[in-house]
Chain A
Amino acid sequence: MALISCRDLCLAYEGKIAVDRLSFDVSPGDYLCIVGENGSGKSTLIRALLGLKKPRSGSIQYGDGLKQSEIGYLPQQTPAQKDFPASVREVVLSGCRAAPFYSASEKRRAAENMEKLGLTELKKACYRELSGGQQQRVLLARALCATRKLLLLDEPVTGLDPAVSAELYRIIRDLNEEGVTVVMVTHDVDCAIERARTILHLRTVPLFWGRAEDYRESEIGRSFMASGPEKGGDEA
């Protein structure tokens, strides 16, 4: 049974359609990369999967025991977070439920996730004083406190230098191999194809959904990859 299945999904902002006629599934253990140009509806789709945006029509169903609130999410940073006075530990813990206080098992879980992402030494450090790569790792640890099953990542390496990006990709890959399902929006097509199991190419409507190997051979995949590098340059 699929973790998420979207059927004939349509998402719109006040009449302007951002995503249309989209059907796809995310199966357990999948590594799905969502690619497409700017404004093609990728972030909107992520917001819908998180339950932050109501579909205009069509449906999103969660299966395999997944609850909507059990999805880990790595957002792009908002400017407000940049000067936020909080310790790494406080940020990571905030991924836990807290009902209304953190339970012993939640605290343990946060400590495990900090350990997993190499943050244990930094746990007292101030979030705003970390490097961009470290901040992303903190947010990833927080996301892991919210889920054991599914991670949604929206352009996680934007603004990071290549070495740090590679490190972050490796961590995500490891998590996927441990059984966490990954859905990642990315600009970096080459990298997506290298790592992902499944590709969804979006331009408001889906242009491709299927295995990464097949995408590489497809017409649309080849032309998008050819135009990829200069777009990657813009982003950096």
Chain B
Amino acid sequence: MSLIKEMLSYTFLLRAIIVGGLVSLCAAVLGVPLVLKRYSMIGDGLSHVGFGALAVAAAMNAAPLSVAIPVVVAAAFLLLRLSASGKVKGDAAIAVVSTGSLALGVIVISLSTGMNTETSNYLFGSILSMSEEDVRLSLILTALVLLLFIIFYHHIFAVTFDETFARATGKRAGACNALLALLTALTVVVGMRLMGSLLISGLVIFPALSAMRLCREFRHVIIVSSALSLVCFLLGTVASFALAIPTGASVVCVDILALLGCFGLGRLRERG
């Protein structure tokens, strides 16, 4: 208890908890359709693109987000186009774009500032990096993600369950996919500096996978995924503070524990 009180007395921690909690929520909601569409690695690919963009921004002395947001959003649409055209398979397209931007980022960093704590923060995340601006941004992002997700919920369900049928019956599958890619890109960019480029995609994948094991209705999967994601983030943050380990890694570990727990529960229920 006193530990939590101590944590809340630091403004930077409070900011990190707000931003991280909101980003976890968005990632968990978006993660469900992405995982079901076999497209969950898009989060991973986009975070690597984000790393490249941050490296370039640092080299140019530009504001990180002003470079990262447009670049990552553009990459999201590029990935969609590549996999929709069917010439490159979705996973291969993501691997190409993601390793490419990681390589570019590393080259830019070594030519400009060289590897330092800041670049390592891009990779593994830093709880100290959240400004008031980030808090505001994450609030806007969350409002946007939740609002659009609720409005287009039924369309997202239809397109995720059966894209061909949705298209044939006049639902705009392309627009739905673009919306998902856009919101994922924004979530990744906002969460990346806190969670780390290498770890942010965990927030997209784990809670969705866990909730899918437990629930048998799409609506419930979304709700459980969000709740689980929030709880895991908070536990992970407390653990990272108590044990003095990086937040991103700590949160992902808690997410993995939750996933194992959910698999166990699912197994038990199948038997029982």
- What residues of chain A have their CB less than 8 Å away from a CB belonging to chain B? 50-52, 67-73, 75, 78, 80-81, 83-87, 90-91, 93-95, 97-98, 100-102, 124-126, 128-129, 142-143, 146
Contacts and interface: CB of A to CB of B under 8 A. Distances in A.
Given A97-B170, A102-B154, A142-B165, A126 B217 contact: yes
B117 to A, nearest CB: 42
A180 to B, nearest CB: 15
B168 A94 contact: no
A73 B157 contact: no
A100 B175 CA distance: 14
Given A85-B221, A142-B165, 20 more contacts: A50-B168, A52-B164, A52-B167, A52-B168, A71-B168, A73-B164, A75-B165, A78-B162, A80-B38, A81-B162, A83-B212, A84-B36, A84-B218, A85-B218, A86-B217, A94-B154, A94-B165, A97-B170, A128-B216, A143-B165
B155 A100 contact: yes
A85 B157 contact: no
B151 A71 contact: no
Given A80-B38, A87-B217, A73 B155 contact: no
- By secondary structure, the B interface counts as helix
Nearest to B219: A90
B218 A90 contact: yes
Bin the interface of chain B by size: 20 to 34
Contacts of A129: 216
A189 to B, nearest CB: 26
Contacts of A81: 161-162
Contacts of B218: 84-87, 90
Contacts of B161: 81, 84, 86, 91, 94
A90 B217 contact: yes
B169 interface: yes
Contacts of B220: 85
Given A84-B36, A90-B218, A75 B157 contact: no
Among A69, A83, A86, which residue has the most Cβ atoms of chain B within 10 A? A86
> Which 9 pairs of residues, A with B, have the shortest CB-CB distance?
A69-B170, A126-B216, A50-B168, A98-B154, A94-B158, A87-B217, A146-B169, A86-B218, A73-B168
B143 to A, nearest CB: 18
A142 to B, nearest CB: 7
B217 A95 contact: no
Contacts of B166: 94
Interface string B160-197: 01101111111100000000000000000000000000
A90 B32 CA distance: 15
A80 B160 CA distance: 9
Nearest to B158: A94
B154 A95 contact: no
Given A80-B37, A86-B217, A94 B157 contact: yes
A83 to B, nearest CB: 8
B151 A100 contact: yes
A113 B166 CA distance: 18
